[in-house]
Structure 1
């Protein structure tokens, strides 16, 4: 007999028959009723034990967290809350089970406690739902690009360039930390390092993706990136995942079209395929909202926020127009914003972005044509000489979700921008080559995957949407 998943057993198409199932005990009450879960669904299945014909030693080992192999009959449930249950014929305890020391007991645990037990936290409903949604979003991303003619490329994790110009990178070296070789200036001699030069963990795969877009046409990367930013906020990780498509012969307008269609597609996928997990997380959020002051409560439920993105056209607004709107709005005039907008050139904060989305336009917003001095060197300079063809997509509840641009394809302009920012041409000689040989208009965007998962699950801390978070002073597991 083939072992069934609980998701399959609870499906409407399943037949009442003899079955076997394996999973972990969530609860065991009255020496009779096991709530069993195997990770395939948010729902448990009830297994009814014939305790009169089960030896006492086995009954004692059926504890929360124990792994079990059950054989029995799937029957119509006699109780409320489920349509079917399993009448247990035999039960085998797999491995050891220690009820007293198992940390994830059937009670409410704080997220901080669960982070300390990240290897076990997916045994809870909240984290199993989050990780199933993370998996579905990953699949939907690959599905979208595959169906739209993109090629998936693996960009380097170890790099000699800093794509963002932030300088907050993790160094990769095999030199002796206590006694590194020095050059004639008394500085570390990286020529003797493994790669013969100073290298770091990547902050972005964009530059390498541009190279492949200029030969394959449409490519995307989806991989780990790293930022050595000493920040312990709920929005920062030292290791995170990025989705970065790059497309040749596509301008900024096409980039905005692509990003909007992409976001709607992946979020539509989870609405269709992860409804039970979304409904559970929405219920959790509604309970959480009740404890907040009225002014801090969200106007939309979790599923409403997702539908808000899927069902609305994204409003396209220039940065200049957005600044005028924000400068003249009531929260700004009454100094309710933490960061007051008083002049063109300000770098917008989450409170400004959410105001535009949730209050002024009441739909997702794409801002474009940002001031050049607050954006990266590779973004195409506009004819006005002060703005670049950049775009950010703003979502309710979270602010910026996607950042992208039309890339600077003109060699002379790119060189001037690099010189102004003191970026060494020799380090990016190959990137400049792309502007020498067959240069063309091209564009792309970046999406922090964990930020998308936060939006789709309603989780408030980025540490809770990645299996094993890496943050300052924390590399456990």
Structure 2
């Protein structure tokens, strides 16, 4: 008999004579009541076992975490909280389950403990909800761009270029660590390596994406990226996913319009499709907030925060105006910020970004026209010679969520910027070709997918919104 998903059984409009459900036992009470979950929904279905006619050996094996199959009648539930339950006529244990050693017992576990058991944590309500939300958000990303006529491009994971210029990249090599071939001056001889040159795991698909935008008009990438940044904060991962659209003939204003529309679409879509999961995550967050000092609590519940982004136009503010606001604000004057703003040119921190969003403007903010010396080489230089056509989108509770720019389309200006930063023209000859042949105004942005999932789920540590987090000293699973 074909089994029916728990979600479909709970959403049934009528009782059913015979159904089969398969899933994992969350709890088993009084030798009679199984709370069954199969991952299709945050909600369990209650299965009422005829314990008098079920062998004791079978009942003993119904433990938390066990996989079971139940066959019976879908009837109206006598208990509160759900419309239907299953009156079980046949109970089958599908696999072994060591009850005493199963880590995910029905009790509250710390997030750190759950990270140590990342292979099993998705069986908890919280992580089941997070991963379903992540899945729907991922679909919404593709749905948005496909509806808009964007072409999905798979940019390289192995690359010889550093798009960010940060130098914090994972090297890719087939050279032996013992007796590594070296040049006469003692440096590693990459000419003997697999690719014949030094290569790394990519930090961004942007540069390659730009080449495709110059032929296909509007493209997007959505794939894994890597940073070898030795950081153990709640905001950093060594492996994460990036969404990066690039659009020919779009200027900075078009870019800001696209980013705002995109973010509002994917959040709205997810709120519509994941109502039960988001309500659960909101309740979890509210419970967690009770243990925090008043000053550290979120000002808005999760669903209100998401609606806040949908219902407010993003305020567009120049970097220069933002610096004036921050320099004159009370937290800065009273030295409450960890990083005091004294002068134009400062690189804004999360505390400054959140102040602008949560305290000053009380809406999402897009900052634009940043100082050239704190932004990447590929951003278009403004006529003032000191700022670039960059933009960052700032959100409540998280700070920067999107970074983008109008790209420098002028060959001579781009070459001069690369020289000033010591970037080898020969390494990026192919990138410069897009400025030699048919160059045009174009723009794009990058959005770290995990940061988006972090915002939508209300979680506070980025390691909890990716299935298997990769961080310094940790590459389990």
Q: Counterpart in 1 of 2:398?
A: 398
Contact 1:410 1:439 in 2 (8 A): yes
1:371 aligns with 2:396: no
SS of residue matched to 1:17: strand
The Cα shift of 1:2 comes to 2.3
SS of residue matched to 1:347: coil
Aligned 1:302-381 pairs, distance under 5 A: 302-381=302-381
Aligned 1:154-303 pairs, distance under 5 A: 154-303=154-303
CA distance in 1, matches of 2:241, 2:15: 41
SS of residue matched to 2:346: coil
Contact 1:8 1:14 in 2 (8 A): no
Q: Counterpart in 1 of 2:114?
A: 114
The Cα shift of 1:154 comes to 0.3
Q: Counterpart in 2 of 1:73?
A: 73
The Cα shift of 1:12 comes to 4.6
The Cα shift of 1:85 comes to 0.4
CA distance in 2, matches of 1:101, 1:358: 45
The Cα shift of 1:15 comes to 4.1
The Cα shift of 1:124 comes to 0.3
Deviates more, 1:334-343 or 1:314-323: 334-343
SS of residue matched to 1:108: coil
The Cα shift of 1:13 comes to 3.1
TM-score (norm 1): 0.99
| 1:113-148 deviations in Å (ceiling 9; x for gaps) | 111110000110000000000000000000000000
| 1:233-252 deviations in Å (ceiling 9; x for gaps) | 11000000000000000000
CA distance in 1, matches of 2:351, 2:281: 24
SS of residue matched to 2:16: coil
CA distance in 1, matches of 2:253, 2:223: 26
CA distance in 1, matches of 2:30, 2:309: 47
1:104 aligns with 2:91: no
Unmatched tracts of structure 2, length 5 or more: none
CA distance in 1, matches of 2:444, 2:150: 12
| 1:293-324 deviations in Å (ceiling 9; x for gaps) | 11111110001111111111000000000000
SS of residue matched to 1:456: helix
SS of residue matched to 1:246: strand
Deviates more, 1:79-88 or 1:34-43: 79-88
The Cα shift of 1:179 comes to 1.0
1:382 aligns with 2:376: no
The Cα shift of 1:16 comes to 2.9
Q: Counterpart in 2 of 1:140?
A: 140
CA distance in 2, matches of 1:329, 1:100: 57
Q: How many residue pairs are counted as aligned between the two chains?
A: 477
SS of residue matched to 2:223: strand
CA distance in 2, matches of 1:79, 1:58: 25
Aligned 1:117-132 pairs, distance under 5 A: 117-132=117-132
TM-score (norm 2): 0.99
1:453 aligns with 2:425: no
Unmatched tracts of structure 1, length 5 or more: none
Mark the CA change 1:15 to 1:76 in structure 2 (over 3 Å): closer, same or farther. closer
CA distance in 2, matches of 1:29, 1:445: 52
The Cα shift of 1:178 comes to 1.0
CA distance in 1, matches of 2:62, 2:342: 65
Q: Counterpart in 1 of 2:55?
A: 55
Contact 1:72 1:89 in 2 (8 A): yes
Contact 2:15 2:76 in 1 (8 A): no
Contact 2:15 2:75 in 1 (8 A): no
CA distance in 1, matches of 2:326, 2:12: 52
SS of residue matched to 1:42: coil
Contact 1:31 1:59 in 2 (8 A): yes
SS of residue matched to 2:154: coil
The CA RMSD over aligned residues, in Å, is 0.7
